[in-house]
């Protein structure tokens, strides 16, 4: 027993020194860790050793995130992907000396909730830069402002360049999904054409072409391109009353729901006009029925008068509805029709 | 219209008279509705770009056309200067110069400014007439009249052509419509004469506006579509080939365009279609002369080789640098994310934002809802020339969705098709039965044959013989006609409202109203420019942000450093750096650039939101792009990361030149009874620092509402005065007051 205590002490000392690696060992350790994957996945041990322990002559860029599906964090996944793009670019394109200066790491809440507690964090994702630290200097880690800078790979690269003066050329792996989808679509189309090669009449079908062109105009006139570029929410809930609102009250913004409403309204007005015109053509249609069964209205036998009136009602109701939607956005517009 | 019993010639006469009267009225209404700004304010040029156009026109009228083409403007982009003759589309200046010259030789002595102010409204009438002819070729004269009336007042077009907005678009839309009319005409007739006229009109368009690229891609697209649809004809061959050859040569005569038509990718599709057309023509020629077997081998083999070769040659030329690849602006039209990443200067301009549905409705109103109907019937009753309007409408609606400013190219298509839609309906509903019966039975059908298209004709001849129960009764007809007229009236009211309220503000003169409804006019801009003109030396250099460059040159006639022709980004960045550095660093830059006066726009007193403090972040960003070492955007934010000049503003913000110049002595004033001293009305809070002292510049002039503030750069002192307490060290100059501590602290860290 008496001999055992000093022995244990010696053992402890050996263990301690092993844990307190020298700088070179730490860097070597990190390089080993990042030789296969480009980011270090931290647990408490590594965290203490490589990030918290001083001294450090390298920078750690660490993303705190929660990737497990149980945690409700919709932006963690995209942020993580962007972060990985930067880390991979760093691994493959940066010079040897640069790679010894900057390392990328990740802390998942599931793996190490203690680190989150230690850092006093309760949101994710967060990107910290732990700069070179020598004994004694107490500098807080720099946080990247996702609100302002965004979290795409270029912004992260810029943040790293700002902080460490290591410039990473961000190389995005090319996204093959769009070309593949287009190629599939085109081949499907061509295949269908090939299968139907004996009856290509539908290509000459004007109704079909008309519908395609009209759909294009309705899509663009209802501002779907704006939606595509700006990505607004489908609808918003009023924070006070919790009532959902489909129409945004400003001319500079729009919700997806309201653009659908507008597209449908435009379509119904155009349909109304077409009804009115077809009603006037009714008599012609009757005679031509045998010859030209293609006409849309030849199938339904509605009296011309009724059809004309239906068309007119369509035009009036839906145009005034469109006007009132417009008025609800454009404050102070004085004119309305039928309803306010 | 008139009595059916009358003779044919008088009917034609009456129709012609009616057409002329309607077109004249459309011209007049279009002209008159664009005069709101002039009636309310006075006959002045609006906005920014028009001031440059006006100045260039003035120069041309004074010195002659050739001097103008060789004009080197040393008053802009000091000290670089700008070659004006080779970097503008001269069509606008030449047009107004010509009008001025004609009026002069008729002894109507009008100042060139009046010509410039009234040019766009005048051309709106010509646009209406060109639209009438185009629609007449596409559908019928009745539809043409509708379309002419629509385009005369349509807000989408008015927005760019009110009196005083003297810009390229004002005349370009006329040239656009007229070129399309001549193209459709030449395609219909297949005559070289019409094709040559089309090329001439295209030449005018090229000389007037960069949007000509739209034409040179749309017409080949039309030709290609016709070939694919199997509608090739010798008429198409004649008109396209003669148009393409002449148009390319003519467009190269414009100095600004030069060799672009043969050296840029934007023009290559036109050339490709030209080649395809030759092959197709050869095919048609050979088909009757060789056997089917030979024909197949010849063309299937030959076409693949030729097609492959053409693609290889094109890429080789692009790779070799002989043909420029597509420009960034072009990519940004197709790949909507492109501009945001690669060309921030395009993305930052508000005109290049995507279009909300509200602006579509705002600019088009009922015509937006009816134009799909016209499109529908054009597709249903398609022929060679209607393919053109279909392609035009579909492509224009796409472009208008991507960029707000391309709404302008959509508006003519919408007006044409809405005209067709309305006239299609009215043709059926305005004629009452008896007239129709008589019309079909009498021989005077000839007139209708001439005026109306096949579809309309067949309706009428069949209608009369059929049973009554299938007809739309006359009451319903009347109701529908009346209600449609009501819609048209609503469009007129809407167009007037929009023109009057949204598009008739000169932006050089501001207007507000008191609580009693009295109008207050704030003329600060002109006051300041006039002061510069009268009180500064002829060759004084005025530094301001680039937005005001054209106005300073145009109104104050002084030399500017940067202006709205943003061709040199690093020069702009230098000005941005001067504005966002502290006083001493800015002084160095200003000394290097020989600046005498600095002009800032400040809206804090009256609550004008378009002032320089609100634009300041762009200055910082652009400066940071070129000088990342000296200017950092985050230094200008508060601790919580907001942009503010209030209490929490950062030290850098409070010491930058822009802040000091905007708020100099502002802390001593009070904008209202219930506000603190130094309350900024635009931002809505009290400013961060009120005791501002200026060391290197001095206040020269501030206008009535503080909107424009002009400062003078002090000359370097004869010998530097060493202050008692502090010895200024170069680069870390210490200024007075509170900022002393901050500077030292940050220097230590």
pLDDT, tens digit (0-9, with 9 covering 90-100), for B489-539: 999 999 999 998 888 887 888 887 777 778 888 888 999 999 999 999 988
Band (pLDDT 50/70/90 cuts) for residue A14 is: low
pLDDT of residue B37: 86
Angstrom distances, CA of residue A197 to CA of A80, A184, A186, A190:
49, 19, 16, 10
Q: Which of residues 355 through 394 in chain B touch A, CB cutoff 8 A?
A: 355-362, 366, 368-373, 375-377, 379-380, 382, 390, 393-394
Position B436 pLDDT exceeds 60: no
Domains, chain B, ordered by start: 9-166+412-433+475-498 (no CATH), 522-713 (3.40.50.12610)
Instruction: Tell me how many degrees the CA angle B111-B113-B119 measures, rounded to the nearest 5.
Output: 110
Contact across the interface for B473 and A305, Cβ inside 8 Å: yes
Q: Give the Cα separation of B153 and B414 in Å (integer).
A: 13
CA Rg, chain A, in Å? 33
pLDDT of residue B740: 43
Q: Are A223 and B356 in contact (CB under 8 A)?
A: yes
| Closest Cβ opposite residue B497 in set A273, A316, A334 | A334
Task: Enumerate the residues of chain B whose CB falls inside 8 A of the CB of residue A206.
Answer: 379-380, 382
Question: pLDDT exceeding 70 applies to what percent of chain B?
Answer: 87
CB-based contacts of B670, cutoff 8 Å, min separation 6: B676, B677, B679
> What are the structure tokens assigned to B68, written together?
């103008």
Contact across the interface for A335 and B497, Cβ inside 8 Å: yes
**Span between the terminal Cα atoms of chain A, in Å:** 96
Q: In this structure, what DSSP letter does residue B301 have?
A: I
A242: buried, middle or exposed (CB in 10 Å: 19+, 13-18, 0-12)?
exposed
Q: Each residue of B233-253: b (16+ CB within 10 Å) or e?
A: eebbbbbbbbbbebbbebbbe
Q: How many CB pairs under 8 A join A and B?
A: 167
Of A221, A331, A266, the residue nearest B407 (C-alpha): A221
CA distance A264 to chain B (A): 11
Instruction: Tell me how many degrees the CA angle B99-B215-A226 measures, rounded to the nearest 5.
Output: 110
Lowest mean pLDDT among A197-211, B69-83, B173-187, B609-623: A197-211
pTM: 0.80
- B513 vs A: CB within 8 A: no
How high is the mean pLDDT of chain B?
84
Tens digit of each residue's pLDDT (9 = 90 or more) over B68-112: 989 998 888 888 888 888 888 999 999 999 999 999 999 999 999
DSSP calls for B325-362 = PPPHHHHHHHSTTHHHHH-HHHHHSGGGSPPPHHHHHH
The four Cα atoms A283, A287, A288, A294 give a dihedral, to 10 degrees, of 60
| Closest Cβ opposite residue B369 in set A258, A319, A337 | A319
> What are the structure tokens assigned to B621, written together?
């960003």
Q: Give the Cα separation of A4 and A10 in Å (integer).
A: 10
Q: Scan for tokens 């054009």, then name that residue.
A: B378
> What are the structure tokens assigned to A97, written together?
């000396």
Task: Enumerate the residues of chain A whose CB falls inside 8 A of the CB of residue B350.
Answer: none
Q: Where are the alpha helices (DSSP H) in B470-611?
A: 474-501, 524-535, 549-551, 569-580, 583-592
Q: Give the Cα separation of B147 and B414 in Å (integer).
A: 9
Tell how far CA B443 is from the center of its chain: 50
Tens digit of each residue's pLDDT (9 = 90 or more) over B609-666: 888 888 888 888 888 878 888 888 888 888 877 888 888 888 888 888 999 999 988 8
Q: Looking at residues B340-358, what average pLDDT do you find?
A: 68
Contact across the interface for B355 and A225, Cβ inside 8 Å: yes
CA distance A242 to chain B (A): 26
> What are the structure tokens assigned to A239, written together?
């924070």
CA Rg, chain B, in Å? 31
Q: What kind and span of H or E run contains B82?
A: strand B82-83
Per-domain boundaries in chain A: 4-164, 204-329
Q: Looking at residues B11-33, what average pLDDT do you find?
A: 93
Q: Are B179 and B127 in contact (CB under 8 A)?
A: no
A195 or A271: whose pLDDT is higher?
A271
Position B744 pLDDT exceeds 50: no
- Kindly state which CATH superfamily the domain A4-164 is placed in: Glutaredoxin (3.40.30.10)
Q: Scan for tokens 């509605």, then name that residue.
A: A302
Tens digit of each residue's pLDDT (9 = 90 or more) over A133-154: 655 555 667 777 777 677 778 8
DSSP calls for A155-182 = HHHHHHHHHH-------PPP--HHHHHH
> What are the structure tokens assigned to B84, written together?
């004006």
pLDDT of residue B96: 94
- This complex has an ipTM of 0.81
């Amino acid at each position: 027993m008496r001999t055992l205590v000093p022995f244990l002490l010696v053992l402890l000392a050996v263990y301690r020194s092993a844990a307190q690696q020298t700088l070179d060992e730490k860097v070597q350790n990190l390089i080993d860790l990042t030789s296969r994957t480009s980011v270090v996945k931290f647990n408490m041990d590594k965290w203490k050793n490589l990030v918290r322990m001083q001294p450090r002559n390298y920078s750690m860029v660490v993303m705190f995130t929660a990737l497990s599906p149980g945690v409700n964090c919709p932006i963690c996944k995209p942020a993580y992907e962007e972060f990985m793009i930067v880390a991979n670019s760093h691994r493959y394109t940066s010079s040897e000396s640069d790679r010894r200066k900057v390392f990328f790491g990740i802390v998942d809440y599931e793996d190490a909730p203690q680190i989150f507690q230690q850092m006093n964090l309760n949101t994710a994702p967060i990107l910290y830069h732990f700069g070179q630290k020598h004994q004694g200097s107490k500098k807080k880690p720099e946080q990247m402002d996702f609100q302002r800078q965004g979290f795409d790979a270029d912004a992260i690269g810029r943040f790293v360049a700002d902080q460490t003066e290591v410039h990473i050329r961000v190389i995005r792996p090319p996204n093959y999904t769009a070309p593949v989808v287009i190629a599939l679509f085109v081949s499907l189309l061509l295949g269908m054409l090939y299968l139907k090669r004996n009856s290509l009449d539908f290509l000459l079908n004007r109704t079909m072409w008309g519908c395609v062109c009209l759909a294009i105009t309705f899509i663009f006139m209802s501002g779907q391109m704006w939606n595509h570029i700006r990505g607004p929410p489908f609808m918003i809930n009023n924070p006070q009353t919790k009532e959902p609102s489909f129409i945004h009250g400003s001319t500079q913004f729009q919700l997806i729901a309201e653009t659908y409403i507008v597209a449908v309204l435009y379509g119904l007005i155009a349909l109304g006009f077409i009804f009115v015109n077809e009603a006037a053509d009714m008599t012609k249609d009757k005679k031509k029925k045998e010859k030209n069964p293609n006409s849309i209205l030849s199938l339904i036998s509605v009296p011309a008068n009724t059809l004309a009136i239906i068309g007119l009602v369509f035009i009036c109701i839906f145009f005034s509805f469109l006007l009132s939607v417009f008025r609800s956005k454009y404050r102070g517009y004085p004119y309305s029709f039928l309803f306010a | 219209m008139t009595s059916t019993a009358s003779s044919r010639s008088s009917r034609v006469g009456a129709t012609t008279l009616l057409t002329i009267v309607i077109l004249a009225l459309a011209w007049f209404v279009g002209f008159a509705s664009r005069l709101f700004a002039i009636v309310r304010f006075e006959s002045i040029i609006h906005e920014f770009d028009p001031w440059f156009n006006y100045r260039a026109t003035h120069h041309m009228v004074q010195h002659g056309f050739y001097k103008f083409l060789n004009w080197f403007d040393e008053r802009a982009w000091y000290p670089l200067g700008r070659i004006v003759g080779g970097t503008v589309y001269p069509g606008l200046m030449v047009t107004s110069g010509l009008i001025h010259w004609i009026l002069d030789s008729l002894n109507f002595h009008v100042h060139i400014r009046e010509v410039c102010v009234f040019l766009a409204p005048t051309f709106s009438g010509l646009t209406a007439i060109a639209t009438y002819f185009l629609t007449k070729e596409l559908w019928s004269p009745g539809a043409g009249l509708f379309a002419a009336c629509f385009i005369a007042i349509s807000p989408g077009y008015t927005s760019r052509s009110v009196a005083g907005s003297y810009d390229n678009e004002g005349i370009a839309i006329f040239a656009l419509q007229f070129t399309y009319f001549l193209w459709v005409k030449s395609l219909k007739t297949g005559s070289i004469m019409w094709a040559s006229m089309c090329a001439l009109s295209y030449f005018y368009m090229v000389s007037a506006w960069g949007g000509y690229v739209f034409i040179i891609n749309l017409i080949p697209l039309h030709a290609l579509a016709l070939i694919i649809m199997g509608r090739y004809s010798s008429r198409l061959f004649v008109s396209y080939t003669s148009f393409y050859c002449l148009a390319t040569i003519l467009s190269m005569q414009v100095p600004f365009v030069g060799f672009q038509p043969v050296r840029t990718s934007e023009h290559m599709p036109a050339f490709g279609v030209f080649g395809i057309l030759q092959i197709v023509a050869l095919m048609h020629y050979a088909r009757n002369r060789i056997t089917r077997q030979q024909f197949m081998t010849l063309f299937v083999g030959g076409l693949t080789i030729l097609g492959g070769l053409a693609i290889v040659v094109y890429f080789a030329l692009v790779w070799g640098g002989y043909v420029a690849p597509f420009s960034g602006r072009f990519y940004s039209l197709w790949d909507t994310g492109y501009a945001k990443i690669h060309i921030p200067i395009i993305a930052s301009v508000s005109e290049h934002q995507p279009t909300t549905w509200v602006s579509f409705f705002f600019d088009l109103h009922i015509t937006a809802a009816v134009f799909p109907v016209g499109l529908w019937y054009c597709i249903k009753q398609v022929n060679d020339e209607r393919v053109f309007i279909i392609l035009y409408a579909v492509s224009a609606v796409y472009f208008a969705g991507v960029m707000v400013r391309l709404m302008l190219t959509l508006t003519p298509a919408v007006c044409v098709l809405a005209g067709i839609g309305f006239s299609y309906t009215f043709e059926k509903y305005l004629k009452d039965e008896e007239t129709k019966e008589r019309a079909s039975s009498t021989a005077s059908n000839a007139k209708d044959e001439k005026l109306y298209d096949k579809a309309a004709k067949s309706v009428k001849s069949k209608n009369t013989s059929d049973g009554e129960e299938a007809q739309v009764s006359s009451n319903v007809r009347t109701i529908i006609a009346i209600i449609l007229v009501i819609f048209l009236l609503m469009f007129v009211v809407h167009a007037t409202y929009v023109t009057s309220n949204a598009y008739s503000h000169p932006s050089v003169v501001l207007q507000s109203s008191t609580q009693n409804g009295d109008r207050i006019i704030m003329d600060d801009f002109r006051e300041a420019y006039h002061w510069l003109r009268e009180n500064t030396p002829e060759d004084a250099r005025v530094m301001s942000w680039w937005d005001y460059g054209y106005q300073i040159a145009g109104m104050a006639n002084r030399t500017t450093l940067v202006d709205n022709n943003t061709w040199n980004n690093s020069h702009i960045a230098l000005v941005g750096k001067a504005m966002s550095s502290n006083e001493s660093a800015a002084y160095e830059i200003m000394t290097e650039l020989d600046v005498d006066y600095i002009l800032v726009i400040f809206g804090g007193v009256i609550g004008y939101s378009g002032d320089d403090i609100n634009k300041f972040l762009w200055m910082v960003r652009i400066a940071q792009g070129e000088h990342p070492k000296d200017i950092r955007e985050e230094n200008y934010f508060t601790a919580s990361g907001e942009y503010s000049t209030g209490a929490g503003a950062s030290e850098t913000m409070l010491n930058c030149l822009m802040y000091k110049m905007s708020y100099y002595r502002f802390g001593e004033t009070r904008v209202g009874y219930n506000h603190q001293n130094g309350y900024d009305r635009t931002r809505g809070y009290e400013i961060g620092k009120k005791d501002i002292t200026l060391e290197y510049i001095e206040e020269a002039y501030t206008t009535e509402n503080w909107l424009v503030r002009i400062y003078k750069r002090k000359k370097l002192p004869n010998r530097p005065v060493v202050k008692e307490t502090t010895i200024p060290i170069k680069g870390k100059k210490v200024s007075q007051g509170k900022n002393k501590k901050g500077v030292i602290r940050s220097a230590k860290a």
